Structures are given as structure tokens and as C-alpha cells.
Amino acid sequence: MTGLLFALLATLLVGVGARDQVLVAQLAERQGARPSLLLVASVSGMAAAGLAAWGGAQVAGLMVGNARWFLVALALGLAGLELIVLAPRAAPTEPTHSLGAFAIVIFAMQLTDAARFLVFALAALTRAPLTTGLGGAVGAALVVGAGWMVIGQLPWLGRVRRAFGAGLLLLAAGLGLQASGLV
């Protein structure tokens, strides 16, 4: 149950202003708030969270002791870097109305974002992929749903994302040093 709650909260926190949320908001603004857009984005986020949780549990089963903690630190560090380095893109000038093309783009975006790195880390740490994946899936649906409902991007979201990224990098550094026995 802990994995569910932590994955849900982590996905919600790092999902604020995320690339997938902004893309859904941009397309909803340009094309109208189509329910099919929300459905595709939600299903894609749920599938990406499930894959991340499954992957974290599979890799964690191969590691023992401090190696698992080091893997968690690495995943947290990658999530922090994603929050700091990758900003949402400008609205597409000629967005397609094809849901298939949108599904491919958003799935690739969601599979490599900070929220899924955190789901991966939590699944590796708790060894509970089902509950962790469920929490990440619900969080993913809520994040893209907020983007679908709230059209437009708030200017302060970039600073909030960078602050979360810096916090994750510090946490990753602390866990990595502890896992390697230097602290």
C-alpha cells in the first residue's frame, strides 16, 4: 500500500507542468477538449507507469543490498535531470488530429519522463510493482486530466519543476553516497 501512495504523490508532484501535461493542454486548446484526446493520453500514461513498475521490480530482483539502493539513487538522479533539462516544447504549429500519431508521441514522452523514473525507483525499492504501478497510473491519468481541463501554461511552472529537479538530485546524491558507503 505504501508503494501506491508514494507513487501517486510522486507522479502528481513531478507531473505539474510536465511535457505530457503541457502537450495535452496545447492540443486541447487548439483542437478543443476532445474526450478521445484525454482517453489516449490517460491510457498511455497508465501503460507507461505499468511498464516502469514492472521494470523496476524485475531489475530489483536481480540486485541485493546496497546495489538496489544505488539503482534507486540513479533513477532519482535521472528524474531530477529530466525535470531540470527537458522543458515542454512550444505548441505544435500544425498539430495532427490523428489519435494514433498522438498516442505514439505521448507514449514515448511519458515512458522517459521523471514520473516514470520515480515509479521505476519506487517499484525497485518496495518490490511491489502492482501497487506502485497502480499509484503511478492513477497519478498519470490525473496529471493529463488536469492538462486537458486547464488550458494554457502558467509561467511559474518551469521554476517549480527545476526546484523539484534540484531536490531529486540532492536526494539521489545522498542515497548514492550512502549506498556506496561513503557516508
**Phi/psi at 154 (nearest 5 deg)?**
-80, 135
The DSSP string of the chain is -HHHHHHHHHHHHHTTT-HHHHHHHHHHHHH---HHHHHHHHHHHHHHHHHHHHHHHHHHHT--THHHHHHHHHHHHHHHHHHHH-PPPPPPSS----HHHHHHHHHHHHHTSHHHHHHHHHHHHH--HHHHHHHHHHHHHHHHHHHHHS-S--TTHHHHHHHHHHHHHHHHHHHHHHHTT--
Q: What is the pLDDT of residue 153?
A: 58
Q: What is the pTM of this model?
A: 0.87
Query: How far, in Å, are 9, 62, 87, 153, 157 from residue 162 at the CA level?
Result: 18, 33, 9, 16, 9
pLDDT value, residue 135: 95
Q: Report how far residue 61's alpha carbon sits from residue 4's, in angstroms, rounded to the nearest whole number.
A: 19
Distance CA 165, CA 171 (A): 10
pLDDT at res. 145: 92
User: What CA–CA distance (Å, rounded) separates 13 from 17?
Assistant: 9
Please give the pLDDT value at position 49: 95
Domain limits, the chain: 2-88+96-150
d(CA 134, CA 49): 8
Tens-of-pLDDT digits for all 183 residues of the chain?
778 899 999 999 888 888 888 888 888 888 878 899 999 999 999 999 999 999 999 998 888 878 888 888 988 899 999 888 887 777 777 767 788 888 999 999 999 899 999 999 999 888 889 999 999 999 999 999 988 887 655 666 778 888 989 999 999 999 889 888 877
Q: What would the pLDDT profile of 125-154 be if each residue is shown by its tens digit? A: 888 899 999 999 999 999 999 888 876 556
Q: What's residue 61's pLDDT?
A: 83
- The cell numbers describing 155, all together, are 509561467
